[in-house]
Amino acid sequence: MFDIQNYTSFVMAILLFQLIPGAGTIAILNATARNGIGAGMGAVMGTLLGDFLFMIAALAGLATLMQQNPFLFELLQYFGAGYLCWLGIGLIRTHVEHRHTNEPHQSGWTYFRQACAVSLTNPKVMLFFVAFFPLFLAPHATHGTLVAMVLHVSILSFLYQTGLVLLGNGLAKKMNTFPSARKWAIKLAGIALIGFGIKLAFSSK
């Protein structure tokens, strides 16, 4: 279908990739927990934009350029690691008010920008797409096939992440009645982001 080899395996691989928790997942759940569905969807769109830009860059050959220039790759990698740690420290230091006090409101646009930045902090995602797409390309594939693959990744990611927002919003409403649980959930999200940052900084090329 769409000149994509092993179409079913291709779709399943995308879904499995989404199930692996990462910094983007934390960003989406944090936005949803703090400011509801609108903020969560802003984070979803930011994450999707970051992934889309990486897919386009991978197809345009930027990944090959980065592989040929290790210094550039490492520079982006360390910058991304620092940004994730900075976000994580911010979450750990967040003061969680009691349930009768409203969470400071931040727009979906704020979380859109933050999630997009989080998505773009890991240049290895681009290299992943470079390795992933050829696995399912038929020898006679056209540019239309590449477009179809990018759309598949984007649409399936959108559906999964939207479900994540709805689930996270339901859990957040229940946690609002338990300020201590909400407090520790936010701090754990911060610790997770720092962990992702450290992993990114020390991961092999």
Instruction: Tally Cβ neighbours within 10 Å of residue 104.
Output: 10
Phi first, then psi: give them for residue 87, nearest 5 degrees.
Answer: -65, -45
**Cα–Cα distance measured from residue 112 to residue 120, given in angstroms and rounded to the nearest whole number:** 12
Residue range 58-77: average pLDDT? 73
**Cα–Cα distance measured from residue 191 to residue 142, given in angstroms and rounded to the nearest whole number:** 44
**Cα–Cα distance measured from residue 133 to residue 120, given in angstroms and rounded to the nearest whole number:** 19
**Cα–Cα distance measured from residue 15 to residue 85, given in angstroms and rounded to the nearest whole number:** 27
**Mean pLDDT for the chain overall:** 82
Residue range 60-79: average pLDDT? 73
Confidence of residue 46 (pLDDT cuts 50, 70, 90): very high
Would you list the domain boundaries of the chain? 7-202
First CA to last CA distance, the chain: 34
The predicted model scores a pTM of 0.77
Choice between 73 and 132, residue whose per-residue pLDDT is larger: 132
Residue range 58-70: average pLDDT? 72
Instruction: Tally Cβ neighbours within 10 Å of residue 77.
Output: 21
**Cα–Cα distance measured from residue 5 to residue 138, given in angstroms and rounded to the nearest whole number:** 6
- 61: which DSSP letter? T
